Amino acid sequence: MAKLWAGRFSKEVDETVNAFNSSIAFDGRMYKQDITGSIAHATMLGDCGIISREDSRQIIKGLQGILADLESGELELDPTAEDIHMFVEAELTKRLGDVGKRLHTARSRNDQVALDIRLYLREEMGEIRSLTAKLLHTLCDLAQQHLDTIMPGYTHLQRAQPITLGHHLMAYAQMLLRDYDRLLDTEKRMNYCPLGSCALAGTTYPIDRQQTAKLLGFTAPMANSLDGVSDRDSCVELANALALLMTHLSRFSEEIILWCSWEFKFIELDDAYATGSSIMPQKKNPDITELIRGKTGRVVGDLTTLLAMLKGLPLAYNKDMQEDKEAIFDAIDNVKLCLKTFTPMLATMRVLKDN
Q: Using CA atoms, how far apart are residues 276 and 284, in angstroms rounded to an integer?
A: 5
Instruction: Decide if pLDDT at 32 tops 80.
Output: yes
Distance separating alpha carbons of residues 8 and 294, to the nearest angstrom? 48
Judge if 47 and 162 occupy the same domain. no
In terms of residue numbers, what domain contains 61?
19-105
Q: Residue 13 — very low, low, confident or very high, per pLDDT cuts 50/70/90?
A: low
Model pTM score: 0.93
- Please list the residues that pair with 268 across neighbouring strands: 350
**What pLDDT is recorded for position 5?**
46
Residue 148's pLDDT band (cuts 50, 70, 90): very high
Mean pLDDT of 304-328: 96
Report the 10 Å Cβ neighbour count for 331: 29
Same domain, 40 and 131: no
Three-state DSSP class for residue 223: coil
Q: Residue 265 is which amino acid?
A: K
Q: Is the dihedral of CA 8, 14, 18, 20 positive or negative?
A: negative
pLDDT in the model for residue 93: 98
DSSP 3-state of 315: coil
Q: Does 7 score more than 90 pLDDT?
A: no
The whole-angstrom separation of Cα 304 and Cα 354 is 44
Residues 86 and 178 in one domain: no
Report how far residue 311's alpha carbon sits from residue 73's, in angstroms, rounded to the nearest whole number.
Answer: 40
Is residue 188 domain-shared with residue 63, that is, in the same domain? no
184, 129 in Cβ contact below 8 A? yes
Same domain, residue pair 289 and 174: yes
* Mean pLDDT, rounded, of the chain: 95
Q: What is the tens place of the pLDDT at every residue in 87-108? A: 999 999 999 999 999 999 999 9
For residues 323 and 293, membership in a common domain is answered with yes
Find residue 238's DSSP bridge partners.
none
User: Rounded to an integer, what distance in angstroms lies between the CA atom of residue 36 and that of residue 14?
Assistant: 32
Q: What is the CATH number of the domain that holds 95?
A: 1.10.275.10
Task: Indicate whether 265 and 289 sit together in one domain.
Answer: yes
- The total number of structural domains in the chain stands at 2
Q: 12 in helix, strand or coil? A: coil
Same domain, 262 and 295: yes
The predicted structure's pLDDT at residue 137: 98
353 HSE (CA, 13 A, CB side): 6
Residue 3 lies in a domain: no
Type of residue found at 325: K
pLDDT reading at 263 higher than 60: yes
Q: What is the pLDDT of residues 323-345, one digit of tens each?
A: 999 999 999 999 999 999 999 99
- pLDDT above 70 (res 8): no
Inside any domain, residue 346: yes
Over residues 269-294, the pLDDT tens digits come to 999 998 887 888 888 899 999 999 99
Residue 68 has pLDDT above 80, yes or no: yes
Inter-CA distances, 338 with 208, 249, 289, 331, 344, Å: 42, 8, 9, 11, 11
- Cα Rg, the chain, nearest whole Å: 25
Q: Does 6 have pLDDT greater than 60?
A: no
- Contact predicate 139/172, CB 8 Å: yes
Whether 32 and 179 share a structural domain? no
Same domain for 53 and 139: no
In a domain, 219, yes or no: no
Same domain assignment for residues 86 and 141: no
* 111 in a structural domain: no
Closest-CA residue to 171 (of 129, 131, 142, 148): 142
Contacts 24+ apart (CB under 8 A), 5-12: none
Catalytically annotated residues = 156, 277
* Same domain, yes or no: 243 and 289: yes
Query: What are the phi and psi torsion angles at 150 (to 5°)?
Result: -75, 140
Give the residue among 252, 241, 231, 248 at the shortest CA–CA distance from 332. 241
Answer whether 137's CB lies under 8 Å from 170's CB. Answer: no
Three-class HEC string of 192-231: EECCCCCCCCCCCCCCCHHHHHHHCCCCEECCCHHHHHHC
Distances (CA, A) of 133 to 113, 120, 130, 170: 30, 20, 5, 14
